[in-house]
């Protein structure tokens, strides 16, 4: 029995050629409609074919009818164009007017196209898997290497993320490493996904790429596809494995893929996706939280929040975003160094405005692509609020941690932030009503200082550990956590110590600081007139507070820590003269 003549709608990659070869083996007639700027320009020279632009669907249909095709297969990659970038023929223009191209993801757009071709035009659409069944992903490893327990956990993490974006009809893939989603696919495809994952790679065992079809997807078109090139690009990105959905993905040249995986020291495996994960609304996806901290105090809050959420979810949560060393200790890979955001004062900010604006755009774009379960910004309102405003209306919950002090000054800010935030986490119990009155849900979560060990320092042990006599007068000096603060207050504090030494010859100083400014602190204090000890980390800081007779500190969170430690203190601040005038 002669098979119906097949129309091949050809995009990029090897699939169109493989289908042609299958037709030739079966002595089946075919006709190729090759899309300009997508299909291989040299693949069809001696074959029955025609070249058409993407927007000329009506022209394609006319050619297929003239060729006598009754069955169609869509094969190969096609970059989705914007409507404004194509020149639609009459058929395409009517299709777009009916379905609204901008309002449909790739999956729903292809469903609509299949329906139009079958119901309105009378063609029968067949799947690649029916023509090339050997390419349909099988269960198990394609090479000699199989995933270990950590890789299996990463497969689960990336699978949940891939299914989540699939339900939103965005794309079909995600990369996870060490329990954290590094990147998710968008309309730009797998190569861009792998490049983004490479930029976010964590230290430790490499991550895993998972490719699955979208839940409810039309299986005859646009199945996720991998090949030898995918393995090579994944290896370059530092990954150690690829997992594809059994029966829901295509593996081009399976034997070559297995050999390439073995050569790269990677695994490629077909996995079964449980039915419950595919059911809309019933999948227990691991939430991914995007966090932004802009200074050391926010970094500490972020790290404590990450730790608490890990405990509450029993580790079934992942994080990404921007943070410092504390958040990185909890597993965060920062998009860029947090120190770039630790700027205060008009004079300091003005020369850095172009860079900060670029970082705002970069951050907002990264969040929109990643589609996290929620964005939590921590303090640093000048940066964080600008990012949040750009994401308003993007279906990402926007949460801010540390309420602006509207009860002290600029009360009008409460109404402004209520216009773009979804929830506010407050440090003080009297703060929520100020924002709830403006329609912004707010929750008192307590001040993290109350949960710290600021009041449990071991003073005598600190003195013994650092060779400080019990009779020595010890002053804790804290010039701030920003470079600008340290540079302005360092000289003033040094002059203060010079005056104090006249009446207290046995005076010594200890400076608890953070890694972001430790180098600057050591340079500035090297010329101070008293023996000076620089320490880092919370345990040393709290022990220093307990050991000190008094403290001299820049205004900030440290004032509350000193109060917890019951250390007498003088709080001061000095800003740039230009900032003062502003």
Structure-model confidence comparison of residues 149 and 108, the more confident one: 149
- Tokens 């820049």 locate to 554
Quick one: how far is CA 473 from the chain centroid? 49
Q: Are 51 and 38 in contact (CB under 8 A)?
A: no
341 belongs to a structural domain: yes
140 belongs to a structural domain: yes
Domain tally, the chain: 4
The pLDDT, as a whole number, for residue 282 is 44
Instruction: Give yes or no: residues 300 and 256 share one domain.
Output: no
Angle of helix 518-525 relative to helix 483-503, nearest 10 degrees, comes to 30
Query: What is the share, in percent, of the chain residues with pLDDT greater than 70?
Result: 92
The pLDDT, as a whole number, for residue 280 is 52
Tell me how far apart the alpha carbons of residues 478 and 462 are, in angstroms, rounded to a whole number.
17
Token code pair at residue 362: 């970069």
Instruction: Give yes or no: residues 545 and 575 share one domain.
Output: yes
Q: Which of 388, 17, 51 is nearest to 227 (CA)?
A: 17
1 belongs to a structural domain: no
**Over the stretch 479-497, which tens digit does the pLDDT of each residue have?**
988 777 888 888 899 999 9
The pLDDT, as a whole number, for residue 55 is 86
Instruction: Give yes or no: residues 313 and 445 share one domain.
Output: yes
Cβ contacts of residue 128 below 8 Å, gap of 6+? Answer: 15, 19, 73, 75, 135, 220, 223, 250
Q: Are 458 and 491 in contact (CB under 8 A)?
A: no
Q: What is the CATH number of the domain that holds 201?
A: 3.40.140.80
361 belongs to a structural domain: yes
**Over the stretch 532-577, which tens digit does the pLDDT of each residue have?**
999 998 899 999 999 999 999 988 888 889 999 999 999 987 755 5
Instruction: Give yes or no: residues 443 and 466 share one domain.
Output: no
Q: Are 515 and 326 in contact (CB under 8 A)?
A: no
Instruction: Give yes or no: residues 217 and 299 share one domain.
Output: no
Q: Would you put residue 135 in left (φ > 0), alpha (ψ -120 to 50) or beta?
A: alpha
**Over the stretch 283-296, which tens digit does the pLDDT of each residue have?**
445 788 999 999 88
Count the neighbouring beta carbons within 10 Å of the beta carbon of residue 282. Answer: 9
Instruction: Give yes or no: residues 109 and 51 share one domain.
Output: yes
Query: What is the share, in percent, of the chain residues with pLDDT greater than 90?
Result: 57
HEC string of 100-152? CHHHCCHHHHHHHHHHHHHHHCCCEECCHHHHCHHHECCCEECCCCCCCHHHH
The pLDDT, as a whole number, for residue 278 is 62
What is the rounded average pLDDT of the residues 182-210? 88
User: How would you class 514 by CB atoms within 10 Å of its CB: exposed for 0-12, middle for 13-18, buried for 19 or more?
Assistant: buried
User: Which of these three, 451, 482, 500, is where a domain ends?
Assistant: 451
Band of residue 82 on the pLDDT scale cut at 50, 70, 90: low
User: How would you class 445 by CB atoms within 10 Å of its CB: exposed for 0-12, middle for 13-18, buried for 19 or more?
Assistant: middle
* Residue range of the domain that includes 370: 288-451
Q: Are 99 and 112 in contact (CB under 8 A)?
A: yes
Token code pair at residue 424: 């506010």
Residue 528, classed as helix, strand or coil, is: coil
Instruction: Give yes or no: residues 124 and 22 share one domain.
Output: yes
Inter-CA distances, 16 with 73, 111, 114, 345, 484, Å: 9, 20, 18, 60, 61
Instruction: Give yes or no: residues 306 and 432 share one domain.
Output: yes
Band of residue 580 on the pLDDT scale cut at 50, 70, 90: very low
208 belongs to a structural domain: yes
Count the neighbouring beta carbons within 10 Å of the beta carbon of residue 190. Answer: 23
Polymer length of the chain: 582
Instruction: Give yes or no: residues 293 and 382 share one domain.
Output: yes
283 belongs to a structural domain: no
Band of residue 376 on the pLDDT scale cut at 50, 70, 90: very high
The C-alpha angle with vertex 22 and arms to 17 and 27, in degrees rounded to 5, equals: 120
Instruction: Give yes or no: residues 529 and 440 share one domain.
Output: no
Q: Which of 94-108, 126-140, 401-415, 562-576 has the lowest mean pLDDT?
A: 94-108
Backbone φ, ψ for residue 134 (5° rounding): -70, -15
Residue 288, classed as helix, strand or coil, is: strand
Inter-CA distances, 241 with 23, 141, 147, 440, Å: 33, 10, 7, 44
Q: Which of 186-195, 377-386, 467-476, 542-551 has the lowest mean pLDDT?
A: 186-195
Token code pair at residue 137: 């992903």
The pLDDT, as a whole number, for residue 444 is 94
321 belongs to a structural domain: yes
Cβ contacts of residue 538 below 8 Å, gap of 6+? Answer: 452, 453
**Over the stretch 150-179, which tens digit does the pLDDT of each residue have?**
899 899 999 988 998 888 878 899 999 988
Q: What is the CATH number of the domain that holds 500?
A: 3.40.50.2000
Residue 76 confidence (pLDDT) above 60: yes
Q: What is the CATH number of the domain that holds 66?
A: 3.40.50.20
The pLDDT, as a whole number, for residue 203 is 77
Tell me how far apart the alpha carbons of residues 450 and 378 are, in angstroms, rounded to a whole number.
18
Q: Which of 251-255, 278-282, 431-435 has the lowest mean pLDDT?
A: 278-282
Rg (CA), the chain: 30
Band of residue 578 on the pLDDT scale cut at 50, 70, 90: very low
Q: Are 331 and 306 in contact (CB under 8 A)?
A: yes
**Over the stretch 323-334, which tens digit does the pLDDT of each residue have?**
998 999 898 888
User: Which of these three, 391, 425, 451, is where a domain ends?
Assistant: 451
The pLDDT, as a whole number, for residue 576 is 53
Band of residue 581 on the pLDDT scale cut at 50, 70, 90: very low
Instruction: Give yes or no: residues 430 and 292 share one domain.
Output: yes
The pLDDT, as a whole number, for residue 331 is 85
373 belongs to a structural domain: yes
The pLDDT, as a whole number, for residue 165 is 85
pTM for the structure as a whole = 0.57
Q: What is the CATH number of the domain that holds 359?
A: 3.40.50.11930
Instruction: Give yes or no: residues 295 and 251 share one domain.
Output: no
User: Which of these three, 418, 451, 484, is where a domain ends?
Assistant: 451
Q: Are 154 and 167 in contact (CB under 8 A)?
A: no
Mean pLDDT over each residue of the chain, to the nearest integer: 88
Structure-model confidence comparison of residues 204 and 263, the more confident one: 263
Backbone φ, ψ for residue 106 (5° rounding): -60, -45
Q: Are 294 and 384 in contact (CB under 8 A)?
A: yes
């Amino acid at each position: 029995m002669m098979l119906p003549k097949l129309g091949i709608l050809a995009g990029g990659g090897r699939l169109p050629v493989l289908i042609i070869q299958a037709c030739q083996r079966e002595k089946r007639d075919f006709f190729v409609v090759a899309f300009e700027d997508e299909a291989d320009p040299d693949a069809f020279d001696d074959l029955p074919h025609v070249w058409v632009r993407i927007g000329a669907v009506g022209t394609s249909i006319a050619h297929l009818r003239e060729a006598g095709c009754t069955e169609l297969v869509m094969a190969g990659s096609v970059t989705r164009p914007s409507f404004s970038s194509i020149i639609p023929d009459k058929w395409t223009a009517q299709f777009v007017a009916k379905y609204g191209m901008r309002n449909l993801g790739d999956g729903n757009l292809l469903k609509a196209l299949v329906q139009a071709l079958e119901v309105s035009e009378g063609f029968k659409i067949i799947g690649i898997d029916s023509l090339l069944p050997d390419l349909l992903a099988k269960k198990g490893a394609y090479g000699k290497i199989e995933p270990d327990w950590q890789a299996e956990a990463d497969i689960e993490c990336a699978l949940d993320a891939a299914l989540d974006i699939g339900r939103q009809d965005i794309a079909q893939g995600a990369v996870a490493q060490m329990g954290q989603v590094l990147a998710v696919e968008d309309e730009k495809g797998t190569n861009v996904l792998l490049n983004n994952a490479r930029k976010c790679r964590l230290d430790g065992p490499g991550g895993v790429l998972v490719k699955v079809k979208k839940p409810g997807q039309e299986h005859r078109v646009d199945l996720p596809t991998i090949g030898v090139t995918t393995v090579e690009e994944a290896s370059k990105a530092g990954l150690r494995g690829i997992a594809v959905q059994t029966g829901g993905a295509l593996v081009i040249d399976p034997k070559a893929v297995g050999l390439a995986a073995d050569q790269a020291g990677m695994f490629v495996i077909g996995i079964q996706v449980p039915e419950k994960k595919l059911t809309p609304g019933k999948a227990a996806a691991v939430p991914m939280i995007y966090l932004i901290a802009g200074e050391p105090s926010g970094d500490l809050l972020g790290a404590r929040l990450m730790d608490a959420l890990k405990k509450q979810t029993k580790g079934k949560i992942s994080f990404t975003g921007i943070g410092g060393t504390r958040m990185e200790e909890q597993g965060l890979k920062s998009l860029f160094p947090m120190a770039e955001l630790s700027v205060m004062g008009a004079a300091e900010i003005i020369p850095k405005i172009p860079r900060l604006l670029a970082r705002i755009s970069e951050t907002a774009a990264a969040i929109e692509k990643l589609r996290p379960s929620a964005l939590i910004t921590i303090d640093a309102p000048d940066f964080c609020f600008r990012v949040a405003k750009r994401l308003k209306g993007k279906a990402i919950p926007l949460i801010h941690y540390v309420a602006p002090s509207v009860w002290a000054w600029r009360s009008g800010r409460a109404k402004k932030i209520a216009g773009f935030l979804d929830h506010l986490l407050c440090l003080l119990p009297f703060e929520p009503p100020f924002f709830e009155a403006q329609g912004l849900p707010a929750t008192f979560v307590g001040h993290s200082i109350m949960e710290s060990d600021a009041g449990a320092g071991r003073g005598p042990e600190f003195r013994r550990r650092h060779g400080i006599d019990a009779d020595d007068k010890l002053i804790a000096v804290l010039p701030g956590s920003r470079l600008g603060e340290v540079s302005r207050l360092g000289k003033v504090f040094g002059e203060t110590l010079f005056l104090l030494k006249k009446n207290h010859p046995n005076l010594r100083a200890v400076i608890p600081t953070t890694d972001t400014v430790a180098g600057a602190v050591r340079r500035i204090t090297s010329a101070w007139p008293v023996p000076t000890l620089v320490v880092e980390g919370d345990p040393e800081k709290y022990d220093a507070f307990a050991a000190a007779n008094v403290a001299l500190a820049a205004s900030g969170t440290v004032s509350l820590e000193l109060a917890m430690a019951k250390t007498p203190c003088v709080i001061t601040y000095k800003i740039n003269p230009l900032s003062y005038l502003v």
